[in-house]
Structures are given as C-alpha cells and as structure tokens.
Chain A
Amino acid sequence: MKGGTHLKPALLMVGCYIFFKFGMPLFTAPLPASLIMLYLMLTFSGIMIFMTLSGTSMESFLGPIFRFISGDGQEGTMKTARLAVLALFPLLVGWQTYTSTASSTVPPAENRTVHPAPPGEFVGLSNPVPNTPENVMQGKGLFAAFCSPCHGNFDGKGPASKGFSPPPANFVDPGTIAQLQESYVFWRIQKGGVGLSVEGMPWKSAMPRWEFELKDEQIWKIIMGEYDGAGQKPRTWE
C-alpha cells in the first residue's frame, strides 16, 4: 500500500476546506457552511471518480479501506480503530440528524444587504453644487447640526449612536462612503431608513428621511462636507 494513495486525497480535502473556510473570505463574503459542504462534496466526488478510473487504481485506493472495514485478519490497534470507526459513524449520523431536526434557539440569520441598489432616478446623479471651500464649509456646518448626533465627527460615534443596530455609518472607514458614488449618498440622506428596499430588511436604519427637512442643495453640501471631513473621495466610474 502506497501512503500517497490516501494521503494526497486527504490533504486535498483538508486544503480545500481551509481555502473555502478561511481563504475565500479574504476576497469575498464568508461562504455559508452549506455551500462549503457542497464544494467539499463535489471535490470528494471528483477524487472518487479519479481514483476509480482503472481497476488497479481502484484496488489500491479502495482495497485497504474495504479490508479495514471488513476486519479480516485484524488484531491489536487496527482492530480497536476499526471498532471505534464503526461505533462513531452511526453516532455521527445520529448527531447530525438531531441537530438538523431539533428546534433552534438561535435567531434567524439576517442577510441584510448593506448597500442595496438605489431607485433608478438616483443612479448617475451628479452633485450640482460647486465644490468650493465655502460650500464645503457650509456642508460641514449642516453636518454638525443635523448628522453629528449619530455620525459624530464623521466616525459614526455620535452621542446618540449607541443604541442603534446597525450602528450609524463610520465615514472614515474606507468601506462606507469611499465605496459609493455621491448620487448613492444623496439617495440615502434624502430618503433615509424608510427608503430602503426589500433587500435592506429588516428595516432597522434610524436614518431620518431628510427630504422633509432639508433642501436638495443642503443635502449636496452635506455630502461634500462629509467626504472632506472624513478624508475620503466619492467613487467614480472613470
């Protein structure tokens, strides 16, 4: 029996698991456990197909496994190991069945889309207010008056922020307004939490619907002040 016959497939499975579980989140959102399991199942199927392409490879791969399971001529440690495997397998199946059918005490997962698509009329809007130092300054003043209670000093840590979940956006974080176009930010300020679509459920955003209290020009100035104060630039397609 060649050690590599089983070691390589085992290492491949472990490597794939580590990649799906810990590697993928470096590039994209963490994969759900069900998807990881599906990928591992496909990998395992591929290994099985490859290892059973010929009679020789099948015998070298499955032969030792079957001899282990049947227990022919086993003694000592191997015999104990076999009994342990035979006992553990039904218990594992039973445990899996129990956990999948028992009532969960954990609240359902919230697959809330943080930045849902804006309505069509907001796509591609450009800021009509000239980006002058005076307008930026006015924007910062409006931000201080209307936004800072929650968004603080552009860091999302205003005095009124602590009870809200999700917390008010931290504009200094490169993952917030730096990823968004000005038109998107305009939509979020104008329509607020009640402007969210179905993808934004559950509707927990406390963002006010500022269109009832602020003019469009004031909102555009706030956006300029926001980017400047947070040291960020709006996303553009150029």
Chain B
Amino acid sequence: MRMNQVAMWCLGLVAGVAFTAGMSAPDILWAQESVAIRAMLVKTVPDDPTAAAWSSAVPARFPLSPQVHWPTRILEVTAKDVTARGLSDGKQVAIMLEYEDPTEDPDDAAAVEFMVGDKKAHFAHGQPMAQVEGGPVNIWFWKNKNAKAFDMNAKGFGTLKVQDQQDLKGKGVYQDGKWKVVFSRAVTTGDANDTQFKPGEFINIAFAVWDGKKDPASGDLKEKGSQKAVSSWWYFRVDPQPDYTSYFYALLAIGLAAGFEFVVIRKLRKGPAA
C-alpha cells in the first residue's frame, strides 16, 4: 500500500508541475515580432528631445518604406528608418522619434499611429476592411512649421480629422542632419477618440515621416499627404510599476515544494502503516 500511495503522490506532483509548466510556458516557437518600444519608467517625463533622460530609454529601430498602399503613392522616400524611444512616469507617456533628414524644412513632419477602441485597424490609416469591420486609428502628427503636435483620428485615407479635444504635446529639434521629435501625453485621457495606454499591455504602433523639402523649380514638396515614409504595425507598451508579487508567489511555491518533499520523505522513512 505504501508504494502505491507514494507512487500516486509522486505521479500527481509530477503531473501537476508538468501541467503548470505546460500551461504557462511561452510559445516561443511561434513567429513573433520581438522588436518593441517600451516606455521605461522615469521620475519625470521630458517633453524636450534633448533631455538627458532619453539616454536611459532603450532605442528600437524600425525600417520605413514608401507609402504604396493607396494613391497618391510615392516610390522613393528620404527616411529609410526611424529610431523610437519611450519614457513614462506612470501618468505621462512620451515617445521620441529620431530619423535622418539631410535638410531642415518647414514642412518636415512626423507621426505616430495607434489603434483606438476594441476593433483592430489596418496599419494604413485604418483603411476600411473589405470582409470585416475594422476600427479607426489615433494619429499624433507633428509638423516643423506648426511647432506643435495635433491629436487626430482617421478611418481610411482622406478621412483625417483633427480632434476637438487636444491632449497632445509635441516638439522637434533638428541637429546634425537628424530630427528628434517628442510626442507626450497623459497615459489615459478619458477621450474615446484617444488611444488609452494600460501599463504592461502591448499595443500596436506605426510611424510615418515626411521630408518637406521644396523643389526650387516647381515649388512642390518632396513628400506630402499620402506621399510619405511609413512602417507597418509594431509593438509598444508603457512599462508597469514594479510588481513584486511574482517573487512572493515563487517563495510560496518553494515553501510548498519543500514541504511536500518533507512529507514524502517522512512517509517513506516511516514505513508501511501498522
């Protein structure tokens, strides 16, 4: 009987551990986008691109392509990639884009895009989906000559609209052939048209950049409107406040496992019941 009982104990323990491990193990074999921007926690969120705090943010670089999804298209763009950083103090969140542009022009511009609400959206301006209903996007848009950022929404090309409630700040600095543009906003705004950030949760993010260089002969801008450099959806999250409950759970599990060992060994040494 003793053998059977202890065997069942062991089987139960191993099965339990294996089941727990199986249910919780990350599915690392599946393809996933491993590059993400994290708004790392700092004491105060800077809205200045030259602030020293940005050096503590881990940069993530994303390639850009010409916008070819929708007319009017463009087949070659100035910015080939954008480096993004994020910072948050738990109440405010800031994202800095950094990209190369050989000339500083009044119409140079940059934008960040998120989905809004529960519905998923196509990365290209939240273009309407043919088979299913997609959602809108929230676009943060900064242009050099405006010296500020605009909070916008769109659900497809040609539907861009500046929000009535502006919750956004933006500032750009041009230095050494590079733009550094910072967008900052409250983590939550209470505006249904805005993306709301839940610390610890990954959401999709996309980027766009315009080289506003003017052709001296024709006066046309090199990139404007839908003619821009774009990225696909990537991932962004606001880092959560430190949470130590995992350590507590781990210590509890260690204690339970050690206690289990003690009971098993005691039972084995005690021998069969009289």
Contact = CB atoms under 8 A, between A and B. Distances in A.
22 contacts: A37-B25, A41-B18, A58-B4, A86-B261, A90-B253, A96-B253, A97-B246, A101-B246, A108-B32, A109-B31, A160-B75, A163-B232, A165-B33, A165-B231, A194-B124, A203-B121, A203-B122, A204-B232, A206-B69, A208-B69, A209-B127, A213-B71
B120 A203 contact: yes
Contact of A90 (B33, B127, B131, B261): B261
Contacts of A234: none
Given A96-B24, A203-B122, A191 B6 contact: no
A102 to B, nearest CB: 4
Given A93-B257, A195-B130, A31 B21 contact: no
Q: How large is the interface on A (under 10, 10 to 19, 20 to 34, 35 or more residues)?
A: 35 or more
Interface footprint category on B: 35 or more
Interface string A33-69: 1100110110011001000100100110011011001
Interface string B65-78: 11011110001100
A100 B245 CA distance: 12
Contacts of A194: 122, 124, 127-130, 134
Interface of A: 30-34, 37-38, 40-41, 44-45, 48, 52, 55, 58-59, 62-63, 65-66, 69-72, 86, 89-91, 93-112, 119, 149-150, 159-166, 191-198, 201-204, 206-209, 213
Given A69-B264, A95-B250, A194-B130, A159 B76 contact: yes
Given A48-B7, A166-B232, 9 more contacts: A32-B27, A44-B14, A66-B6, A90-B257, A103-B240, A111-B30, A162-B63, A202-B120, A213-B71
Given A58-B7, A203-B120, A90 B134 contact: no
A163 B65 contact: yes
A21 B254 CA distance: 29
B28 A98 contact: no
Contact of A44 (B18, B64, B128, B251): B18
A108 B131 contact: no
A91 B134 CA distance: 47
B32 A107 contact: yes
Given A30-B29, A162-B65, A97 B129 contact: no
